[in-house]
Amino acid sequence: MAQNYIQPGNVIPIVAPAGGYVTEQVVKSGSIVGIALGSAPQDSICEVALEGVWQVAKATGAAWVPGDKLYWDAAALNFTKTATSNTAAGYAFASAATGDTTGQILLRQIA
């Protein structure tokens, strides 16, 4: 293995903010969106998944089809197809109807 290699990058450590994190909470740090793999109190390290397929909170009002680009809406605390003021997070993994409150995301770090 190369000397400069550190790790695969699919899970990273992030310091928990005020209030900490709970398992499977969505974590946003800068432009990174991930899922907490465990609970962590404030100022402790939390392992955060940056990849994988997850069942997540979905904004109602728009249907998802596989491949739709999805964004994290930190104000509404759900994933949406609306890019404005939100952070790119991945792609719809499965179809979801307009009234659904959850959906499946293929978590990917995208610009």
81: Cβ–Cβ under 8 A, 6 or more apart, which residues? 59, 62, 64, 68, 69, 70, 71
Q: Cβ-count burial of 34 within 10 angstroms (0-12 exposed, 13-18 middle, 19+ buried)?
A: buried
CA 74-76-79 angle, to 5 degrees, is 75
DSSP, residue by residue, 34-49: EEESS-B-TTSEEEEE
Residues whose CB is less than 8 angstroms from the CB of residue 2 and which lie 6 or more positions away in sequence, other chains included: none
Would you state the pLDDT for residue 2?
80
Domain boundaries defined on the chain: 11-50, 53-107
Rounded to two decimals, the pTM is: 0.92
pLDDT for the residue 1: 61
User: Could you read off the pLDDT of 36-69 as tens digits, one per residue?
Assistant: 999 999 999 999 999 999 999 999 999 999 999 9
pLDDT at 110: 81
Instruction: Please write the tens of the pLDDT for every residue from 66-80.
Output: 999 999 999 999 999
pLDDT of residue 109: 86
The residue with tokens 């307009």 is: 98
